[in-house]
Chains A and B, each alone.
With several copies, the nearest count.
Chain A
Amino acid sequence: MGKNHPNVEPYVASRVRALESLLLEKGILASDTVDKVVGRFQDDTGPMIGARAVARAWVDPAYKRLLLDNSAEALAQFGLRYDMLNVVENTPDVHNVVVCTLCSCYPWPVLGLPPAWYKSPPYRSRVVIEPRSVLREFGLEIDDAREIRVWDSSAELRYMVLPQRPPGTERLSEEELVPLVTRDAMIGVADVPSPALVG
């Protein structure tokens, strides 16, 4: 097959295969590295742990206090060792939203791999200077009197929002609350919708 093979793979894909093969050849990485790393992100993490912590904080005031004050201990209850996390709480007076303007810092172990928009120039450039406009595009209208706190993850600490418990969930158990908690709510670009609205 020559250079003009019509089904030649995109250059970037070949370059990645080339890099991987060189790193294996040189003994820098083991052949199963990619599968192990990515498998962990795809299987073991994801928004589930964040959602479980949020649901527990909603039903258990002591756990909520622990999550806000010592997230490492709070996350250990779900088998996760992770001591970089700061959890910031939404209240009637305060709405929190998380960004990394300089690159793409994100609490992967509790929220999974970040969505493309979180890493995109529009979000990174705008949410620090016009958070109300950005949140409005996400469908979230924040009253001018309510303070928006934007957390720009500039160091080796990560942020997760503890959203407000939606009305109409008073009788739900912790297990029933977990699936209501969305990734976007834990980034701070959405509220957790009331289950009545979700249907």
Chain B
Amino acid sequence: MNSVHDMGGMHGFGPVEREENEPVFHDAWERTVCGLNFGLLRARAYNLDEFRHGIERMQPARYLASTYYERWLAGMTRVLTEKGVVTEEELDRRTALIQDNPDATPAPAASSASGEPFQPPATTSGTHPFRRPAAAPPRFALGDAVVTRNIQPHAHTRLPRYARGKRGVIDRLHGVFVFPDANAHERGEEPQPVYSVRFDARDLWGESVEGREALYLDLWETYLLPA
């Protein structure tokens, strides 16, 4: 979807603000959000594409007004409630209870949900969780000229607006991967080849380019047409 998360090429956000000696988390609740999310992904409460689409669907004003982990919390909550894992009502009620009784333990501590030891989250380490065996030879070869499709889906996509309807060249073949545009919407995995596509910055941004610049995006085969 063309929401404000797809911000590549926007102006107006100001300089990049760096923080000296930045802590990994700025508050204890950020640490909890981070841990819960990777735990939920690992437990398959939702998948990574569903989580991302949960964030993308935030109202643009709220998206921009939120901090990073506030956006995570919003995306997690959106998907968990849509899937019926928790309801908005019970979450609101429990939150109010905690606000009113900050020192109480909010709920009896649950025992371990499963006996198996915790594994590194599948999304960041280990063998690749989104790679699939190739079913057919890839449509494009190294060096092929391609043009990205001009699509405007309301659904989740990983083809950013700035790279639609643009000419590029196949630079690498990465293999076959789960297709997020399907996987975010319970449409199955639709695995297909992913290519690194090289774009001359002038083909994307026109005359405004400051010097010799190229952009590389990893794009699913569905996004590409022969040029």
B118, A33: Cβ atoms under 8 Å?
A: yes
B34, A148: Cβ atoms under 8 Å?
A: no
Chain A residue at smallest Cβ distance from B51: A103
A180 within 8 A of partner (CB):
no
* A32-B118 CB under 8 A given contacts A13-B28, A22-B91: yes
- Min CB distance A41 to B, Å, is 7
A28, B45: Cβ atoms under 8 Å?
A: yes
A residues less than 8 Å from B36 (CB atoms) = 16, 19-20, 23, 29, 33-34
In the complex, which residues 64-91 of chain B have their Cβ closer than 8 Å to any Cβ of chain A? 64, 68, 70, 73, 76-77, 80, 85-86, 90-91
B147 within 8 A of partner (CB):
no
* A19-B8 CB under 8 A given contacts A41-B24, A137-B15, A150-B214: no
9 nearest CB pairs, A to B:
A34-B35, A101-B8, A155-B218, A18-B94, A144-B211, A33-B39, A24-B110, A30-B112, A36-B118
Question: Complex formed: what's the CA distance from A128 to B162 in Å?
Answer: 9
Question: Complex formed: what's the CA distance from A65 to B15 in Å?
Answer: 36
B194 within 8 A of partner (CB):
yes
- Min CB distance B173 to A, Å, is 12
| 6 A-B contact pairs sorted by A residue (CB < 8 Å) | A21-B94, A24-B109, A36-B118, A116-B19, A130-B210, A156-B129
A28, B34: Cβ atoms under 8 Å?
A: no
Chain B residue at smallest Cβ distance from A123: B16
Q: With contacts defined as CB atoms under 8 Å apart, how many contacts are there between chain A and chain B in the complex?
A: 280
B8, A25: Cβ atoms under 8 Å?
A: no
Residues of B within 8 A of A (CB): 2, 5-11, 13-19, 22, 24, 27-29, 31-36, 38-40, 42-43, 45, 52, 55, 60, 64, 68, 70, 73, 76-77, 80, 85-86, 90-91, 94-95, 97-103, 106-114, 118, 120-121, 124-131, 152, 158-160, 162, 172, 174, 177-178, 194, 196, 201, 205, 208, 210-220
Contact of B128 among A7, A108, A156 (CB under 8 A): A156
Contact of B9 among A2, A27, A125, A146 (CB under 8 A): A125
B109, A109: Cβ atoms under 8 Å?
A: no
A residues less than 8 Å from B55 (CB atoms) = 103
B158, A155: Cβ atoms under 8 Å?
A: yes
Contact of B16 among A32, A101, A108, A137 (CB under 8 A): A137
A24, B107: Cβ atoms under 8 Å?
A: yes
B residues less than 8 Å from A133 (CB atoms) = 210
Interface segment among A52-60, A76-84, A161-169: the answer is A76-84
Give the total of A residues in contact with B, Cβ under 8 Å.
89
B residues less than 8 Å from A157 (CB atoms) = 174, 194, 196, 218
A122 within 8 A of partner (CB):
yes
B residues less than 8 Å from A129 (CB atoms) = 2, 8-9, 152, 162, 205, 208
Chain B residue at smallest Cβ distance from A153: B218
A140 within 8 A of partner (CB):
no
CB 8 Å contact bits of A121-156 with B (1 = contact, 0 = none):
111111011111110011000111111111111111
B residues less than 8 Å from A126 (CB atoms) = 10-11, 13, 16
A residues less than 8 Å from B174 (CB atoms) = 155, 157
Question: Complex formed: what's the CA distance from A102 to B53 in Å?
Answer: 10
* A42-B24 CB under 8 A given contacts A20-B32, A81-B127, A82-B125: yes
Question: Complex formed: what's the CA distance from A102 to B60 in Å?
Answer: 14
A14, B111: Cβ atoms under 8 Å?
A: no
A122, B17: Cβ atoms under 8 Å?
A: yes
Question: Complex formed: what's the CA distance from A82 to B194 in Å?
Answer: 18
* A31-B111 CB under 8 A given contacts A7-B102, A155-B218: yes
Chain A residue at smallest Cβ distance from B101: A1
B91, A80: Cβ atoms under 8 Å?
A: no
A residues less than 8 Å from B18 (CB atoms) = 115, 117
B16, A134: Cβ atoms under 8 Å?
A: yes
Contact of B35 among A38, A120, A124 (CB under 8 A): A38
